[in-house]
């Protein structure tokens, strides 16, 4: 048979099987052929999985993709709880309810309606305190035990079978002491995977939006609602219709009993999004808490390594002699010394002494009158006095001058140079500037500065 034919047969059988399941759902819901229905019943063992709900715990119910568990808190309250029961019955849906002891005492008929409709009945303390996370453990135990006793009293003779060992902490305000006590009693603590915030003062459309958006974000899980809220009553039909249109299925959860074993599951199914070899995890797994009682240990050092006192290590060559006797080869010298020649004293080469010319600084060329004349633009006039150095020269130019000081040149514009003699001792250079700007500089002082620079 060709491969495409085999694939066609498999798809056809799958469609027939799905059609049979949907027909069974419709058959279980007479008068409502388009009902969402309950896809399956999940049986769990509270002692093996004492805490569920990824909002607070590592595990949640082992649901498949697009499976949702409906859970309701705080009832019963006839005015609203009865309408919730009617909506669920019209869709042939089974849900999980967590009842408050005081409410059960006030409306015992509402508790029995839940049981008779086939829903799972759990507990939610006696008075719904929002301080379970900080109250003394003895008081918390009293709240838990009183709530269970009140619900059992309304259920009558078959209370042990009708009441599930499921519990939800009010406000999800958990504590380890409370969780440990519930686990010791074989009671499973339920948190949730997503909320609809229906206890807040918001509209029913807002409750619907939050429920659908959060279900779609997770793809499966436990939805927490409150059957005593009128906004929940108004939003529930739209929530169920949207879940059906988008291919979701409702799962009913019941506890395992001696005559009803737990549904077979794998450990990874209890994670909302189990790890896979195709998906990288963003954190390292935790180190398991175990004790290596039977682990192999390294052998202790032999007594031959120690002297008679058992304290000091043998520093002699006896230990190595034993190794030679056992034909164990030992290196006589370190291997790295063979590849590095050791220079003999007196044969090392010396560096040459630097030549004297390395440290000599060449003198700068002397500046002559002819060179200054070449540098100055336009007609120039030079004067020199006998006995004066050649670089002590002044050049007069129109609008531009070059002045030699310490072998360097300075240039300027719009300044004039004047020649003057002072006692026949030489020629100096002076700028013809205003007396106010240079009145503090006398001729003798200026002459001394020029002579000092020339020297």
Task: With beta carbons less than 8 A apart as the criterion, state whether 225 and 71 touch.
Answer: yes
DSSP 141-164: HHHHHHHHHHHHHHHGGGHHHHEE
| DSSP tag of 34 | T
Phi, psi of 290 (to 5 degrees): -145, 165
Please give the pLDDT value at position 140: 97
- 195-203: long-range contacts (C-beta < 8 A, 24 or more apart)? 195/55, 195/223, 195/224, 196/223, 196/224, 196/225, 196/232, 196/235, 196/239, 198/225, 198/226, 198/229, 198/231, 198/232, 198/235, 199/226, 199/229, 202/231, 203/231
Higher pLDDT, 51 or 404: 51
How crowded is residue 326: how many other Cβ atoms within 10 Å of its Cβ?
A: 7
Question: Cα–Cα–Cα angle for 326, 327, 330, nearest 5°?
Answer: 110
Partner residues linked to 41 by β-bridges: 252
Q: What is the pLDDT of residues 55-96, one digit of tens each?
A: 999 999 999 999 999 999 999 999 999 999 999 999 999 999
Q: What is the pLDDT of residues 388-418, one digit of tens each?
A: 444 443 434 444 434 444 444 444 444 444 4
Confidence of residue 362 (pLDDT cuts 50, 70, 90): confident
Closest CA to 366 of 298, 279, 454: 454
Measured CA to CA in angstroms, residue 438 lies from 134, 397, 441 at distances of 92, 22, 5
Q: What's the mean pLDDT when you consider all of the chain?
A: 76
Taking the whole predicted model, whether its pTM rises above 0.85 is answered as no
For 67, the enclosing helix (H) or strand (E) is strand 67-73
28-270 is classed in which CATH architecture?
Alpha-Beta Barrel (3.20)
Please give the pLDDT value at position 237: 97
Domain span(s) for CATH 3.20.20.370 in the chain = 28-270
How crowded is residue 300: how many other Cβ atoms within 10 Å of its Cβ?
A: 6
Q: What is the pLDDT of residues 226-243, one digit of tens each?
A: 999 999 999 999 999 999
The two three-digit tokens of residue 184, written as one number = 């010791």
User: What is the mean predicted confidence (pLDDT) over 421-432?
Assistant: 43
pLDDT more than 70, % of the chain:
56
Q: What is the pLDDT of residues 250-261, one digit of tens each?
A: 999 999 999 999
């Amino acid at each position: 048979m060709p491969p495409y034919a085999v694939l066609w047969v498999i798809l056809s059988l799958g469609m027939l099987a799905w059609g049979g399941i949907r027909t069974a759902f419709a058959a279980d819901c007479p008068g409502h052929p388009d009902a969402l229905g309950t896809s399956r019943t999940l049986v769990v063992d509270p002692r093996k999985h004492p805490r569920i709900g990824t909002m607070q715990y590592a595990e949640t119910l082992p649901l498949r993709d697009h499976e949702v568990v409906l859970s309701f808190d705080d009832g019963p309250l006839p005015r609203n709880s009865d309408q919730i029961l009617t909506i669920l019955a019209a869709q042939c849906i089974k849900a999980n309810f967590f009842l408050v002891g005081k409410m059960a005492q006030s409306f015992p008929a509402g508790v029995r309606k839940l049981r008779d409709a086939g829903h799972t009945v759990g507990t939610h303390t006696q008075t719904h305190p929002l301080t379970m996370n900080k109250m003394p453990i003895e008081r918390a135990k009293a709240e838990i035990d009183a709530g269970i006793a009140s619900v059992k009293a309304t259920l009558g003779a078959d209370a042990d079978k009708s009441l599930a060992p499921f519990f939800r902490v009010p406000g999800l305000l958990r504590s380890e002491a409370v969780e440990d006590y519930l686990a010791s009693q074989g009671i499973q603590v339920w948190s949730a995977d997503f909320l609809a915030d229906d206890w807040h003062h918001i509209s029913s459309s807002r409750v619907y939006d939050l429920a659908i958006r959060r279900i779609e974000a997770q793809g499966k899980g436990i939805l927490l609602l409150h059957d005593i809220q009128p906004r929940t009553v108004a939003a529930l039909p739209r929530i169920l219709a949207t879940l059906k249109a988008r291919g979701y299925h409702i799962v009913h959860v019941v506890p395992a009993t001696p005559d009803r074993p737990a549904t077979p599951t794998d450990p990874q199914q209890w994670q909302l999004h189990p790890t896979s070899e195709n998906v990288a995890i963003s954190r390292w797994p935790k180190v398991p808490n175990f004790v290596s009682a039977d682990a192999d240990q390294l052998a202790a050092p032999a007594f031959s390594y120690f002297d008679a006192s058992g304290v000091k290590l043998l520093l002699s060559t006896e230990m190595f002699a034993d190794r030679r006797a056992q034909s164990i080869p030992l290196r006589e010298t370190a291997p790295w010394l063979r590849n590095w020649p050791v220079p003999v004293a007196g044969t090392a080469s010396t560096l040459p002494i630097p030549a004297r010319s390395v440290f000599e600084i060449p003198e700068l060329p002397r500046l002559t009158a002819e060179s200054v004349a070449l540098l100055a633009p336009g007609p120039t006039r030079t004067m020199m006095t006998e006995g004066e150095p050649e670089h002590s020269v002044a050049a007069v130019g129109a609008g531009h001058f070059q002045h030699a000081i310490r072998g360097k040149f300075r240039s300027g514009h719009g300044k004039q140079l004047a020649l003057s003699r002072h006692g026949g001792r030489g020629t100096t250079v002076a700028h013809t500037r205003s007396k106010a700007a240079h009145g503090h500089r006398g001729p003798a002082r200026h002459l001394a500065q020029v002579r000092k620079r020339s020297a």
